[in-house]
Amino acid sequence: MTENLLQISSLEKHYPAQGGKVVPVLRGLALTLRPGAFVALRGPSGCGKTTLLLCAGALLRPAAGTVLIDGCDPYALSAAARSAFRAAHVGFVFQNFHLVPYLSVLDNILLCGLAAAPQPALATRAIDMLDKLGLSHRLRHRPAELSTGEQQRVALVRALAGGANLILADEPTGNLDAANSRILLDTLADFASQGGAVLMVTHEPAASDRAFTRLDMRDGYLHSC
Amino acid sequence: MTVCQLVTRELAYRKWNFLLAVLAVAMAATTYLLTSALLKSTDLTTAALVSRKVLDTERAMLRLEDEMRKAMKGLGFNIYIFPEDQDLGEVYDKGFASKTMPETYVEKLANSSIITVNHLLPALTQKLTWPEQKRSIILIGIRGEVPLAHRNPLEPLIDPVASGQIVLGCELHQGPGFKPGDKLSLIGREFTVAKCHPQRGSKDDITAWVNLSDAQQLLGKQGLINEIQALECNCVTIDRLAEVRKDLLAILPGTRVIEIGSQALARAEARLQAGATAAQQLASVKAQRSELRTQRETLAALLLPLIALMGLLAVMVLALLNVRERLTEIGVFLALGIHSTTLLAVFLLKALLSGVVGGVLGSALALLGIAVCRVRLFDGHAIAALLDPSELAWLLVSMPVFAASAAWVPSFWASRRDPAEVLRHD
């Protein structure tokens, strides 16, 4: 493991607009997350927070700049290698959970096994984590049978169970009540405390207050709060 | 979690999409098999009909041959063999030959291997005056037909007359009032009337038939005959008289041969006509069946591509609907690090399964359809004859390929989606 779990430098990203113009979203942005980091990223809608998460998660190739995850530039890898790398190093948590509706709670987590080499301990690890989050009785349930809070907890376990040391969370508490938000934020904080790193986009003050570091995003740049 | 588990769980969750794809494939498979069975049924029925018709024609021709033979027997002999030096003009003028030839000629002919004539009848014929009755008669001495040595004996065309007996034509027995059993005198020799013929309206009415040896004695021509009558065989050749002549003259060089044209011609023409009619009927059956097959082939040529195209489009549209419905899911899969090739395999495996199930269902439906409509649509042919196992196996293999091909474009499109694009707008 390198010293920096995520190192972003001079990151630029723009989207094409009508009339052949481009809309710059990220303008030479830099960010470094070391093990133990839990960063809350705030900013107005459309300022590029999600774009930053996607670039950081090896899902969206930046126009310029570099992204190093655990010391490796995922965009220098082939598509297949980048997928495998992402599965091994990055976990995503979405606001809408995005659980696969026809899979049980456990299968949603074991889905990570399709992405990488077989992980014999994955099921055991998943069951342990679900147990810790109070979902051991829901293993065979489908997402539609769960509350929103339970669904988000399952999504969180899916992000963590694959062994990723970098969690990228996009408004993870956006659809949760206070109690469930607290559970989720505590879990993320624990993960960071145990050597992982979390970059969380949020609008909610309670969520950003729980993070160890808070950054504001304006005009394509990051600013410390 | 494996690709198969993922696919089967998705199938169970989105049953209708899968069932519709299965039905589309099954429809294509059923249509193909039923059309193929229909064409096979047409071919089988045609073969059976033609075979039956050929058999019927052969039987009819044999029957006709027999009837012709009998009819020709009724018409009498149509080949006459005379001595070589006989003037035929005299024969036509007087009704008999004045020249004679040895009676042994007929044995020579009978012992040969000739096949172009049969029913050999040696005769000694002469027109003379019946002194006791003071009238002209034609006296014919016959000894009965001489069987050909290489053939089974045939039923004779004319019965032999025993020595001392006489058979009279109508004019010869009606006037004097002779009847069978009566005694009469002919050139000083007594004969018993064996038979009295009814009126025939020909020179037979003034003819008297006696045994050949009796005639030879009466006419002082022992061991001689002046004609051999024969019946031309049923062989049809381009120039049958030349053939008969060639055969006869090879055996009996000192003779000449004539044919009674009208009888022989009628016989050959009747045979040819019957044969032509039978061939025409057979050709007509073949033409009708060929037309039916062409109609069915045309229908198949239109129907099969149409059904295949509809099936292809249906599977493609269903696959497209499925991937569109799962776009976010696809984005999440990719974000989780699942490779696009694995995703493509997921979609294609689903299509393959719909092809396998659709192929089996389609084959079962086709079998059921044939079983139910076997008599009405398939002329009662056995299912085994209508459906070739290799064709069925080919179909069961090709249907999954067909379905996977149809789903290829939507599947490929889905697996190449940009996850960032999907998740950014979510």
Task: Tokens for B105, please give them.
Answer: 């000629």
Residue A21 resides in a domain: yes
pLDDT of residue B72: 60
Instruction: Please answer yes or no on whether B332 and A110 come within 8 Å at the CB atom.
Output: no
Higher pLDDT, B410 or B92: B410
**DSSP E strands: which ranges in A17-82?**
22-33, 38-42, 64-69
pLDDT of residue A20: 81
Give contacts of B5 with chain A, Cβ < 8 Å: 107
Please answer whether residues B337 and A115 qualify as being in contact, where contact means their C-beta atoms are separated by less than 8 angstroms. Answer: yes
- Percent of chain B past pLDDT 90, that is, above it, reads 40
Segment B376-395, tens digit of pLDDT: 888 888 888 888 899 899 99
CATH number reported for the structural domain that contains residue A65 in this entry: 3.40.50.300
Q: Provide the residue ranges of all domains of chain B, joining segments of one domain with +.
A: 3-59+275-424, 79-259
Minimum-distance CB partner of B340 among A79, A101, A113: A79
Higher pLDDT, B37 or B420: B37
pLDDT tens per residue, chain A (225 residues)?
558 899 999 999 988 888 888 888 898 899 999 999 999 999 988 888 989 999 999 999 999 999 999 999 999 999 888 888 988 899 999 888 889 999 999 999 998 878 766 667 888 889 999 998 888 899 999 999 999 889 988 999 999 888 899 999 998 888 888 888 899 999 999 999 999 999 999 989 989 999 999 999 987 788 876
Minimum-distance CB partner of A115 among B329, B338, B420: B338
- Percent of chain B past pLDDT 70, that is, above it, reads 90
Supply the mean pLDDT for chain B.
86
Q: How many domains does chain A have?
A: 1
- Grouping H, G, I as helix, E, B as strand and the rest as coil, residue B198 is coil
Measured between CA atoms, the residue of chain A closest to residue B15 is A102
Minimum-distance CB partner of A96 among B2, B335, B426: B426
pLDDT of residue B24: 92
Residue A146 DSSP label: S
Q: How far is B336 from chain A (nearest CA, A)?
A: 6
Task: Tokens for A183, please give them.
Answer: 């559970």
Instruction: Please answer yes or no on whether A116 and B337 come within 8 Å at the CB atom.
Output: yes
Q: How many Cβ atoms sit within 10 Å of the Cβ of residue A213?
A: 16
Cα–Cα dist A192/A6, whole Å:
13
Measured between CA atoms, the residue of chain B closest to residue A86 is B337
Segment B75-92, tens digit of pLDDT: 667 888 999 899 988 888
Domain that residue A95 falls in? 6-224
Question: Per-residue DSSP letters for B41-98?
Answer: HHHHHHHHHHHHHHHHHHHHHHHHHHHHHHHHHHH---EEEEETT--HHHHHHHSS-S
ipTM of the complex model: 0.86
Instruction: Provide the β-strand partners of residue A209.
Output: none
Give contacts of A110 with chain B, Cβ < 8 Å: 1
pLDDT of residue B412: 93
Measured between CA atoms, the residue of chain B closest to residue A94 is B423
Minimum-distance CB partner of A112 among B3, B336, B424: B336
Asked whether the CA dihedral A73, A75, A81, A85 is positive or negative, the reply is: positive
Interchain CB contact of B340 with A (< 8 Å): yes
pLDDT band at B43; cut points 50, 70, 90: confident
Residue A1 resides in a domain: no
B402 phi/psi in degrees, rounded to 5 = -60, -50
What is the mean pLDDT of the segment spanning B299-309? 84
Interchain CB contact of B297 with A (< 8 Å): no
Which residues from A are below 8 Å from B when comparing CB atoms? 50-51, 54, 57, 59-60, 79-80, 83-88, 90, 92, 94, 96, 98, 100-103, 107, 110-116, 158, 162
pLDDT of residue B157: 64
Segment B116-132, tens digit of pLDDT: 787 888 999 999 999 99
What is the mean pLDDT of the segment spanning B358-374? 93
